[in-house]
A and B are shown apart, each in its own frame.
Chain A
Amino acid sequence: MAGRRMRHRHRNRHSQKLGGNSCCLYYAQDGRQYVVASAPEVGILKSLGIVENAVIQKKLTYRMGGPVLLKVDSSEIAIGKDFAEKIEVRG
């Protein structure tokens, strides 16, 4: 668990380094629309349309390490924190 947290911290720093208007989905503001800048190469994310340049709406971030709730096209999708931290979005 400790190792996992360290990795996350590292990733967050990395995402901040990208700078500009790109930030990771997990910490992006709720209730706004974003364009995916990069997403992990995971089959299920691709299948659900969370791919580069996809337009997504972030509806909600669940507290205490919960998931984020997105609207992609017309479907609602919840994504666990550990994936949401790896998805970079532009505002």
Chain B
Amino acid sequence: MASCHDVHEDAAVYHKTNKILLMGNPNVGKSVFFSQLTGLQVMSSNYAGTTVTYTEGTMELGGRRYTLIDVPGTYSLDAVSEAEAVAVRFMESSPLAVVCVLDSTNLERNIKLGLELQRFNVPIIYALNLVDVAQRHGVQIDAVQLAQELGAPVVPTVAVKGEGFDRLRQELEKVVSQPGFKPNFPAQIGDQWQLAKQIAARVRNSVSGELSFFDRLGSAVLQPWPGIPIALAVTLASLGVIVQGGKTLEGILLILVENALVPFFATLFSSFIPEGVLLNVLIGEYGIFVISFEWIVALILPYVFMFYVVFSFLEDSGFLPRLSVLFDGIMRKLGVQGGSVITIMMGYGCAVPAIIGSRTATTRKERLIISTVVCFGVPCISQTGALISLFASFSPILLVLMLLLSLVVMAAVALILSRLLKGDVDPMVIEIPNLLMPNGKAYLKKLMLRMRNFALDAEGPMLIAIVIAAVVKETGLLNFVAGYLEPLVSSWLGLPREAVMALILGVVRREMAVAPLLAIEGLTALQAFVGGTVAFLYLPCLSVFGILAKEFNAKVAVAIGLSTAVSAFIVAGVINQVAQLVM
């Protein structure tokens, strides 16, 4: 996930004199190298596109500090794509050395990039990664001969297990400790592709290897049978783990909140604040210190945490690109391509990283379709958690209906936009990474970073929403506004007056359009579903508006905002009216 905190390009980085670059093809485990070498918190992923922006960290070698830069993964340096242009710019900015990560299981293409890098005349250390996977596939690579062919050190590594890093550091130190060290690469004659293939053939030996369970599973998932049933089973299991895990955590946290946190603050504040509006705003029914704990800590956090536990695992394991392949046919019929499955799934966590992640789309039309689909039809995990809590007291059928509604909305939005918008959507081209057991260290770091970003990104707007809620409710403003919205809320949607609070708060955060419904007593199943539908389709949250305006423009943000709000009232109203007629 590209967090919204590190999406910027600082030109000063090109002028730094102590740079070491980390380069390589996408999906070679570069980000794991980065987190191993710097010990800094970074994201590492197994699918193309996560490192569209570079990451920078500090690395120590022989007592000196260097800046290690994780350059976006590229297949070549032709500068045809944005990522390649950035890579070329970095190579031309006089780095001290380059660590070029080579994937042992895709030697030809990786050597080709390795050869291309040599034209910049910068010292290179080659890290021959995934040697364990290659061995299981019956391939052994002669690192000594490869070093001769490339005219530079080659260090075999297994990054996910931390193997080979000591030698890599030694080789790097040798180079950077000699100022003005110039590499001595062999002359390249002829086409680089042919040369890469010849070198690969010379250094590769066949050995007997035995495929691991993951290797066999990786191939099996790619076949429609048993791939599609496995994909569906994994998706359902993920959902089950998120919902059950979330519920369990919610139960534990709720006891803590209701029996310890809320009573503590109630006693504290009532000891020195007289009864009245101020005390109610703090610890009343909608008091800041009541709902901020009940909603954020007990209701939202468990599901956000469980979502990232599951999603980060799927992401690092290399499972998601396989889903893209299996569902490309369906996505193509909807006017997009299979790769967008990953972005959409990311949206089930939060729309903000999904919209940033849609940068991997090759055309503006595709980006716009995916972003709109996420805003309309994909509830974020915070909202899903709130919806699960809302429907829990009725029937799981409501949740299934909501899921179906979500799929229908997604398909409809994609179909309409692909016809309406000008331009093209490029067909899918995706390289399938090895299916791997994620590296524990990198996985935990990623999980921590995601939770930290969630706290930083969501906490502010959530608190704003909670303060608004407390003030609006406890000062009687709610009844005043409710009077105006009465026809819409009561007659058309069939919801009680208090539901107005959901509409007010839903502007700030998506789950806040659900949370107030939880506090209403005597809600019917139909009212819960209609309220849930309004919340699900209603405005994306403030952070999403911000990112839409930034990534596209204000016009797109306003258009998506207006159309979601209008469709929320139309769809939910129609559901209510039809159900009233039938029942």
Q: Taking beta carbons and an 8 Å cutoff, which residues of A are in contact with B?
A: 1, 42-49, 51, 60, 62-67, 69, 73-84
A40: nearest chain-B partner, CB-CB: B427
Which of A44, A65, A81 has the largest count of B CB atoms less than 10 A from its CB? A44
Task: Tell me, yes or no, whether B222 is within 8 Å of chain A by CB.
Answer: yes
| Given A47-B75, A65-B332, A75-B106, A80 contacting B338 (CB threshold 8 A) | yes
Given A74-B107, A76-B222, 6 new contacts (CB under 8 A): A48-B429, A60-B223, A66-B326, A67-B329, A75-B105, A83-B429
Cβ of A1 to closest chain B Cβ, rounded Å: 7
CA distance in complex: A51, B431 (Å): 16
Q: How far does the alpha carbon of A64 sit from the alpha carbon of B329 in the complex, in Å?
A: 6
In whole angstroms, what is the CA distance A26 to B431 when docked?
Answer: 17
Q: How far is the CB of A58 from chain B (nearest CB, A)?
A: 14
Q: Which B residues are closer than 8 A to A by beta carbons?
A: 74-76, 78, 80-81, 105-109, 112, 137, 139, 193, 197, 200, 222-224, 324-326, 328-330, 332-333, 335, 337-338, 362, 419, 426-432
Contact between A76 and B197 (Cβ–Cβ < 8 Å)?
A: no
Known: A62-B326, A74-B106, A81-B332. A46 touches B76 (CB 8 A): yes
How many Å lie between the Cα of A28 and that of B429 in the bound state?
18
Check if A67 sits within 8 Å of B78, measured CB to CB: no
Closest A residue to B106 by beta carbon equals: A75
Smallest beta-carbon distance A23→chain B, Å:
19
- Among B75, B329, B338, the residue within 8 A (CB) of A44 is B75
Q: Considering the chains assembled together, what is the distance between the CA atoms of A60 and B332 in angstroms? A: 18
Q: State the CA gap A33–B123 with chains docked (Å).
A: 39
- In the complex, 10 of the A-B residue pairs with CB atoms within 8 angstroms, ordered by the A residue number, are A43-B78, A46-B76, A47-B76, A49-B109, A62-B326, A63-B329, A64-B333, A69-B222, A75-B105, A82-B427
Tell whether, in the assembled complex, residue A79 and residue B332 are in contact, meaning their CB atoms are under 8 Å apart: no
Q: Is the CB of B78 within 8 A of A83?
A: no
A54 to B, closest residue via Cβ: B193
Say yes or no: B108 contacts A74, CB within 8 Å. Answer: yes
Please state if A45 and B429 are interface contacts (CB–CB under 8 Å): yes
Asked whether, in the complex, the Cβ of A48 is within 8 Å of the Cβ of B75, the reply is: yes
Q: Give the residue name and chain of the B residue nearest to A83 (CB).
A: B427
Write out the residue numbers on chain A whose beta carbons fall within 8 Å of the beta carbon of B80: 43, 47
Q: Are A79 and B429 in contact (CB under 8 A)?
A: yes
CB-based contact A81/B431 at 8 Å: no
Q: Which residues of A contact B328 (CB under 8 A)?
A: 62, 66-67, 78, 80
User: Contact at A49–B429, with CB atoms within 8 Å?
Assistant: no
3 nearest A-B pairs in the assembled complex, by CB-CB distance: A80-B427, A47-B75, A66-B329
Q: How far is the CA of A79 from the CA of B427 in the complex (A)?
A: 7
Q: Is B193 a contact partner of A80 (Cβ separation < 8 A)?
A: no
Name the B residues within 8 Å of A69 (CB-CB).
Answer: 222, 325
A45 CA / B333 CA spacing, docked (Å): 22
- A49 near B108: Cβ-Cβ < 8 Å: yes
Question: Which of B107, B109, B326, B330 has most A Cβ within 10 Å?
Answer: B109
Contacts of A44 in B (CB 8 A): 75, 81, 362, 429
Report how far A78 CA is from B429 CA in the complex, Å.
6
Most buried by A among B75, B426, B428, B429: B429
Of the candidates A42, A43, A48, the one whose C-beta lies within 8 Å of that of B431 is A48
Please give me the residue from chain B that is nearest to A75 by CB atom: B106
Question: Chain A's nearest CB lies how many Å from the CB of B575?
Answer: 30
Report B-chain residues with C-beta under 8 Å of the C-beta of A46: 76, 78
Cβ-defined contact, B224 with A63, below 8 A = yes
The one of B81, B223, B329, B429 in contact with A65, judged by C-beta atoms closer than 8 angstroms, is: B329
B106 near A67: Cβ-Cβ < 8 Å: no
Min C-beta distance of B188 to chain A, whole Å: 18
Closest Cβ–Cβ distance, residue B421 to chain A (whole Å): 13
Contacts of A80 in B (CB 8 A): 328, 332, 337-338, 426-429
User: What residues of B have a CB within 8 angstroms of the CB of A67 in the complex?
Assistant: 325, 328-329, 338, 427-428
